[in-house]
Amino acid sequence: MVDVDRLDRNLRRWQEECDRLGLANRPHIKTHKSVEIARRQLELGALGLTCQKLGEAETMIDAGLDDVLIAFNLVGDRKLERLAGLMRRATVRVTFDDPALLPGLAGAARAAGEELGVLVDCDTGLGRTGVTEPARAATLAAEASRTGGLRFDGFLTYPVFAESRSFLEEAVELADVDVPTVSVGGTPTMWHAEELRPLVTEYRAGVYAFGDLNTIAAGVGSLDEVALTVRATVVSRPAPDRAVLDAGTKALAADRGRDGGFGHVVEVPSSAIVKLDEEHAYLRLGGDDSLRLGQTVSVVPNHACPAVNLHDDLVAVQAGEVVDRWRVDARGKIT
Amino acid sequence: MVDVDRLDRNLRRWQEECDRLGLANRPHIKTHKSVEIARRQLELGALGLTCQKLGEAETMIDAGLDDVLIAFNLVGDRKLERLAGLMRRATVRVTFDDPALLPGLAGAARAAGEELGVLVDCDTGLGRTGVTEPARAATLAAEASRTGGLRFDGFLTYPVFAESRSFLEEAVELADVDVPTVSVGGTPTMWHAEELRPLVTEYRAGVYAFGDLNTIAAGVGSLDEVALTVRATVVSRPAPDRAVLDAGTKALAADRGRDGGFGHVVEVPSSAIVKLDEEHAYLRLGGDDSLRLGQTVSVVPNHACPAVNLHDDLVAVQAGEVVDRWRVDARGKIT
């Protein structure tokens, strides 16, 4: 269930902050995976979208949303053909962290007959993909610039650590080429973006659209700003202190929260979801045993993104009424 | 990817064991969620199917597979209407663990104009749903028998603990009514089913169709019997000892294995998947750094069921060739 008023407020507040800071807003669609919500973000002033997979980008571009950054290394003939297909009909940029990726990307640009903008993926502390040294980032910037068909568009990192700023500053300083974009991401740090200006030019946030228990634990937002809940039914009351809901990892996702629990039940704030199976949530009631068998409740998930990816539709609610049903268009796009 | 020969061998071996023991085989479709595989199970001799949710049962019955046990408490008008709809066109049974559920189930039976078979859900150690005392199970059996429109069909438990046998024996002994079915489930204990005969009459196994790392860790099957793998690509080689795959919790599911890892990479058995993000697997290579950027690998997931639920299709492979594509028909059926 999506609370439309809260969603719109969350989107508008962040766009206004980006406008105030002169920061390009490029929201990450990984959270909502929904054309309807991406469109709202763009209508409010977002510059374009961020996608994590080609399949997500294809979904958005099929819907006519035509400026997409794919923040992922693309490798392999099939994926590069798909990239070329997208470049023929939209503005697409990609990231890379290895010079071995450049010939493939250049080939896609050639096949599309378009210049491809590329950003160097910088690992400023996460230890996932990305180059781990500013000097290496600058070298890759130069290599991209020298590669026919490619245009070096800047540096990108995720998330923002204390060290990220100095890494990016050094990379920009060492780069022999112009650095049009410095792009960072992450909902937990978004309200500190001002401190990164003017170095950082673009911000990619995803979860801010809905909020979840993780972002609240990170100090961003509060329960009454959360726009996404999972509706569940009490299907068993095996003991006075225990209730079982018909929503497990298939509805809420398996992410454990910082408090050790698996979601917040709005109607019984003193309760705790202590365990999930695929189809069940185990609720410890903590004194409040008011829950009846058959009662429906709203659960705020720990992590909105994987929860949404389990559902085909979002039920849009306004003032307590169901007003629409939005497809999770890019659900399950794993390549 | 599904290895069709391994799948068929897994299905056949278990059906032959059930035939040998005179045990009704009622495989749980939660693992494959696929009409094609359910049909193979029935053609080999399975008595019917087990589903966990109404939506799964609807999917199977829509495909003409017409004997389904729904091993879940059903409560609420919407669900009971759907149950009545299924009863009009198939043989459907359900479980329950609370007398408060009986009026609703009886109402569904009345609406359908059919008798509804019900089994008492027994908690013999899991601590999820189900009655926790054999005497209580016997009481519910009597209550179901007295309820118009309902037919008491037996006792059900999951999984099989050391205590399960004596619980079920006592429940059967205490029951004042005939107990046609005693149904147990779980792949880890299936090859010990002989020890439960003749008390137990029906077995529900799901994962046995594919196998996964969890069942291997439980001592059931070996890697060369596993029929399900997730195909992934090496998308980054940020360090000699580290590779990153484009398959994360959205492709493999988030279940952690008993070894602490998140899947087994067939091509690099000495490696370990030490962490997953939504779109990435972090692979520690452990000495073998042969993996190339762009190489594709096969990953055996920890838990087949939630992994399959993330995918729209299963790619059927035989002798190294793709031979078919099967829908995960009941993917995402959360109610």
Dump pLDDT digits (tens) for A57-94: 999 999 999 999 999 999 999 999 999 999 999 999 99
Cβ atoms within 10 A of the Cβ of B41, count? 25
Residue range A43-68: average pLDDT? 98
Pull the structure tokens for residue B182: 């005693």
Residue range A17-37: average pLDDT? 98
* pLDDT range class, residue A290, cuts 50, 70, 90: confident
Residue of B50, B56, B236, B245 to mutate for A, most A C-beta atoms under 10 A: B236
Residue range B149-165: average pLDDT? 97
Cβ proximity of B56 and B92 under 8 Å:
no
Q: What percent of chain A has pLDDT over 90?
A: 97
Give the model's pLDDT for residue B288: 82
Average pLDDT over chain B reads 97
Please, what CATH class does the domain formed by B2-209 belong to?
Answer: alpha beta
Where does A133-194 show beta strands of DSSP type E? 150-157, 181-185
Asked if A72 lies within 8 A of B98 by C-beta distance, the reply is no
* pLDDT range class, residue B247, cuts 50, 70, 90: very high
**Distance from C-alpha of B266 to C-alpha of B223, rounded to nearest angstrom:** 9
Asked if A238 lies within 8 A of B97 by C-beta distance, the reply is yes
Cis omega (within 30 of 0) on the bond before A103?
Answer: no
- Nearest-by-Cβ selection for B279 from A52, A132, A234: A52
Cβ proximity of A123 and A75 under 8 Å:
no
The answer on pLDDT for B190 being more than 90 is yes
- Nearest-by-Cβ selection for B73 from A129, A236, A296: A236
The answer on pLDDT for B34 being more than 90 is yes
Residue range B47-55: average pLDDT? 98
Pull the structure tokens for residue A16: 């206004």
* pLDDT range class, residue A239, cuts 50, 70, 90: confident
Q: What percent of chain B has pLDDT over 90?
A: 97
Q: In chain A, which residues have their Cβ closer than 8 Å to the Cβ of B131?
A: 238
The answer on pLDDT for A42 being more than 90 is yes
> Chain A residue closest to B130 (CA)?
A238
Give the model's pLDDT for residue B290: 84
**Distance from C-alpha of B126 to C-alpha of B296, rounded to nearest angstrom:** 39
Residue of A293, A297, A303 to mutate for B, most B C-beta atoms under 10 A: A293
Q: What percent of chain B has pLDDT over 70?
A: 100
Q: In chain A, which residues have their Cβ closer than 8 Å to the Cβ of B237?
A: 98
pLDDT in tens, B11-31: 999 999 999 999 999 999 999
The answer on pLDDT for B2 being more than 90 is yes
Average pLDDT over chain A reads 97
**Distance from C-alpha of B305 to C-alpha of B316, rounded to nearest angstrom:** 17
CATH 3.20.20.10 in chain A, residue ranges: 2-210
The CATH architecture annotation of domain A2-210 reads Alpha-Beta Barrel (3.20)
Asked if A311 lies within 8 A of B334 by C-beta distance, the reply is yes
Asked if B75 lies within 8 A of A235 by C-beta distance, the reply is yes
CATH 3.20.20.10 in chain B, residue ranges: 2-209
**Distance from C-alpha of B69 to C-alpha of B79, rounded to nearest angstrom:** 15
The answer on pLDDT for A185 being more than 90 is yes
Asked if A237 lies within 8 A of B293 by C-beta distance, the reply is no
How crowded is the C-beta side of B290, counted as CA atoms within 13 Å? 9
Residue of A50, A72, A129 to mutate for B, most B C-beta atoms under 10 A: A129
Give the model's pLDDT for residue B10: 98
3-state secondary structure B141-195: HHHHHHCCCEEEEEEEECCCCCCHHHHHHHHHHHCCCCCCEEEEECCCCHHHHHH
CATH 2.40.37.20 in chain B, residue ranges: 224-327
Enumerate the β-bridge partners of residue B300. Answer: B264
Three-class SS state of A287? coil
- Nearest-by-Cβ selection for A335 from B104, B246, B334: B246
The answer on pLDDT for A19 being more than 90 is yes
Give the model's pLDDT for residue B287: 83
What CATH topology corresponds to A224-327? Answer: Lyase, Ornithine Decarboxylase; Chain A, domain 1 (2.40.37)
**Distance from C-alpha of A249 to C-alpha of B303, rounded to nearest angstrom:** 12
Q: What is the DSSP letter of B210?
A: T
Chain B nearest CA to A327, separation (Å): 13
Residue range A277-292: average pLDDT? 92
Least confident of A46-50, A191-195, A238-242, B21-25: A238-242
